[in-house]
Structure 1
Amino acid sequence: AARFVSLLAHQRPPVVGGGTKQEQWCTLLAFLCRGKGDCEDHAALLCSLLLGFGLDAYMCVGTKAKGVSHAWVLTRGTDGTITFWESLTAHRYLHRAVDPDAPPLALQPKPSYPYRTVGCVFNHQSFLANCQPSDAVELCAFDFQNPSRWKAMSEEALKSVCAPASNTSLPPLPPLCAPSVDPAAASNQLELEMRYLVSEHRKDLDLATVWDDHLSYLLSSALSAYETERCTGVSCGNEEFQDAVRRAVPDGHTFKGFPIHFLHRNARRAFATCLRSPFCEEIVSCRGDHVRLAVRVRVFVYPENACARLEDPQKVKNVVVLTPGPQSAQL
């Protein structure tokens, strides 16, 4: 769920009337149809999905660095564990509150999350305002049953906006659309286009191009592992991949790789982005007597790719393309 939401584009709403305040929250249906939105739209969708998966989830409204307004998601485990979910990146952070009354030399947890203050939290059943002495996230305790720390909105007020009869003017939210892109066909097509672009680029440099299909095949496991790590936060298979590469690269040769991911399937645009990296440009322009190149592309599809395609036929916002770029083995 977090990975899917993070793939939807982040775009701040336009300022209306020449003002400076940007505040526009979309319905979930409008957000999915547009395929892009602000952090509040992402957080609301992620919170709804996590609630649907049975988690005790809340949307948090507060600030991050430099007082910038921000929204993220919080879940509470049955053991009291507090987890923050960043809907724009799919990153997760454990929250351990700092004790302001602890001795000066006592060890205190160092926050890894980017959030600074929290003003309120809410979901479809409750709305709670932070009334603790400090609204700094690192000092806050998220025990929502404690009225001295969290002031709950009355049930009558909640029913006036959240009761089934209060939003009859809104259209029913349809289920998420299944992906319609064939990932295997899309991967093969994009890989052929990337190979062509690399060959043409090297031809302009008066360099021949020799492709190593076996090395390209070995890169598949790495791309799958990268996507798994982005979804779960767990890294796996790296040692096996490195061992396979060592066996494939002849003695006296050097292996160089450039993994990168995109949210579109435009090969020329992706290749131009790769060349902006000096490291990738060095690989593509590699010279030597025994240079072999390899490229592998994997397309991972997620729901709602039809909505993204409606926005721009050249972009599928919720499809991830992982390309390690050309790999070189040289003397």
Structure 2
Amino acid sequence: MTDPLTAALSGAEARAEERVTALLRGCAPLGVAFSGGVDSSVLLALALRALGRDKVVAVLGVSPSLASDERAGAHRVAAHLGARLVEVETAEGELPAYRANGPDRCFHCKNELFTRISESVAAAHGLAAVAYGENADDVLRPDRPGSRAATLHAVLRPLADAGIDKAQVRRIARALALPCADKPAAPCLASRIPHFEEVTPAKLAQVEQAEHALRALGFGDGRVRHHGEVARVELPVEDLARAAGPLREPLLAAVRGAGFRMVALDLAGIQSGAFTLPLVEVRPGETPRAEVRAAQAPSAQAAGAEARAAEVPSVQAARTNVPTTEAPRAGEVTTRD
């Protein structure tokens, strides 16, 4: 069995590790915001290799938006690495701006997580710094506002700063024999609820139950989008025939069992950023700057988006790691995660 803390990396992956190690120099003890996904798992592994097991703590945020399967998976990965893992309960569901579910929802969620880490975990474990698993591809996406919360809390992003993209993250994960090396992306459950429709524990529980049922039927990747009484099921294109054929009846029964009255199979397959990307626009020459198309939402909802946008600092500050109180223009949400 490969020991992920002693396995040798070679070529480009070895050079990438050297860059991460240099970035983490002087950052011990380090807290790693950890989900069990491949990005945060690779960051945790590289941090353990650079600093040692006694100088790194994995921190898992727990709330109704985290599926129980994901929580258990995170514990398995941490145990595989021999890493200390602490859980911190987050209360983003109590925040009106989070429940309102604008395109900046992830900002409020990450801000809550990093606030809880700062207020409890950092002192308890004497942390000198906190890092999270943003990679170089994430930097280029216009639909990831959680990154800006990281900036406000001075959270490090070693993978992105080392130029490590998603493909290289997976190559490193495979070289270190991490159990999550080929794990599909698993955004939080709230991402299944259309923007401007309230995020509630009941909806999150419905989505979790339905997606657990998909996995039980043998679908390794999938999303259940919550459209009120309708569940829109997204699966890899290669799984659509199986879902509409021999597994149609059990899939229908399983998703209905989660409380949905109707079940639709999306022929487009899995769509990352399905709800957020239609609401943002990247302007030529700007990387990335985005605005909410408020005209697509009812006027009251658009006004709410404007108010929430004023709470989010400018993208230039996010790129320079200098917090600012400058607010975006009305109707605009700049995003980077």
TM bin, normalised by shorter chain, reads under 0.3
Higher relative contact order (CA 8 A, sep 6+): 2
The structure with the largest strand share of the pair is 1
Please identify the structure whose Cα radius of gyration is greater. Answer: 1
The structure with the largest helix share of the pair is 2
Give the TM-score taking structure 2 as reference length.
0.19
Give the TM-score taking structure 1 as reference length.
0.19
